[in-house]
Structure formats: C-alpha cells, structure tokens
C-alpha cells in the first residue's frame, strides 16, 4: 500500500510506503519521484482504483492525465492528455472509472465533467458562487455532488441540476454513496 505526496515546488508527485510489507519495510519511504509534471505546483491528485491512471490538477489551471507504468522496479508516468477547462487553480478532482468520468473543481467557481476514456470535455456544471472545493461522483449512477462554500449541489450524469442546498455551517467535503439511489442520510455528507 502506498500514498502520494504533492504540492512541492518541484511541480511533481512522489509515492511513499503507507503499509509496511516484506518488500517495503520502512513506512513513509519514498518509492518513486516524478518531477516537473506541471508548470506550477500540483494542487490535487486522483487515482483510479487499479492505480493505472493518475490525474493531477495544478495551480497552472490545467489537468493532466497520466498512465502509471511499472517497468521492472521503476515506475514511470506517461502523459496521456492535458485538459484545459479552468481559468485559475484546480482545487479538487474525482475520477470514476466505473462510469468513465472525471470531475474537476476550481478556484474559478467552475466544475467541469470530462470523459476519462477520450480525455475530452463533456460539460460544465454551472452556477457556483464560490470556488468549488469538493466534488464526488456516484459510481453507480454517474451523478455528481459539488461543494462550493456553503452550497451543496447534486447533478445528474448529464449535468442537470437535481438538488441544491445552502448549508449554514460550511462543510469541508462532499461525498457520494456508491449505491444506486441517493438517500437523505447517505447521499450527501459534510463535515466541519
């Protein structure tokens, strides 16, 4: 098991040991470093469950999709695409390989849905009044939750606004369930 660090001036990411194993005996030891992936520091990272696709968002307003390749003992990132849909820093990313989508949220108050397979723009989720600080995709339905300041929004897979709520205490995260239906108790969650 590994974790990723990002945000350093080297504009890259590094993978570190999270769980000690027979092969990796030192916790938090860096196992690979990938520098210069963006023009400015990386602000967010999303990884598919199989670890083969890594998506990075940056202060340079771009999103980059990478294939994570392992050649012998070495790990390599191969650039698949650069996505340009934000006008300022990308704050958050969510990737869902089950429905083949990627959602990005930015300081520019934009949330953008991308096709993960073709690395192309699908649609923008419009109307946010604050920077989009968290996004989540329901892996069963493809529905998206966005959080922008105190505003929590639920969107259909096609980008139609389904629900909106303004929360008194601004939550810090929006999480979707993996179930087929959204419920009042498990569909949206927030924390302070």
The pair of structure tokens assigned to 53 is 């696709």
Any idea what DSSP says for residue 19? S
β partners of residue 112 = 104, 124
pLDDT of 22 strictly over 70: no
Q: What is the pLDDT of residues 78-95, one digit of tens each?
A: 999 999 999 999 999 999
CB atoms within 10 A of CB 168: 5
Query: For 101-113, what is the mean pLDDT?
Result: 97
Buried b (16+ CB within 10 A) or exposed e, 127-139: ebeebbbbbbbbb
pLDDT of 55 strictly over 90: yes
The predicted pLDDT at position 188 comes to 40
The predicted pLDDT at position 46 comes to 96
**Percent above pLDDT 70 for the chain:** 85
Beta strands 74-84 and 62-71, pairing class: antiparallel
SS3 label, residue 174: coil
β partners of residue 113 = 103, 123
Enter the pTM of the model.
0.84
Kind and range of the H or E run holding 91: strand 90-96
């Amino acid at each position: 098991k590994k974790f990723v660090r990002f945000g350093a001036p080297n504009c890259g990411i590094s993978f570190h040991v999270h769980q000690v194993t027979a092969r990796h005996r030192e916790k938090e030891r860096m196992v690979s470093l990938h520098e210069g992936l963006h023009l400015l520091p990386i602000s967010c990272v999303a990884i598919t469950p199989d670890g083969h696709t890594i998506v990075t968002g940056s202060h340079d307003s771009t999103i980059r999709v990478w294939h994570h390749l392992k050649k012998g003992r070495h790990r390599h990132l191969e650039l698949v695409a650069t996505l340009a849909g934000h006008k300022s820093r990308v704050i958050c990313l969510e990737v869902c390989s089950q429905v083949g989508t990627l959602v990005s949220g930015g300081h520019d108050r934009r949330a953008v849905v991308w096709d993960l397979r073709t690395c192309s723009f699908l649609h923008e989720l419009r109307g946010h009044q604050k920077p989009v600080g968290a996004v989540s995709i329901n892996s069963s339905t493809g529905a998206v939750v966005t959080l922008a300041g105190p505003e929590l929004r639920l969107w259909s897979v096609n980008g139609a606004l389904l629900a909106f709520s303004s929360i008194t205490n601004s939550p810090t995260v929006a999480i979707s369930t993996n179930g087929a239906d959204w419920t009042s108790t498990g569909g949206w969650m927030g924390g302070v």
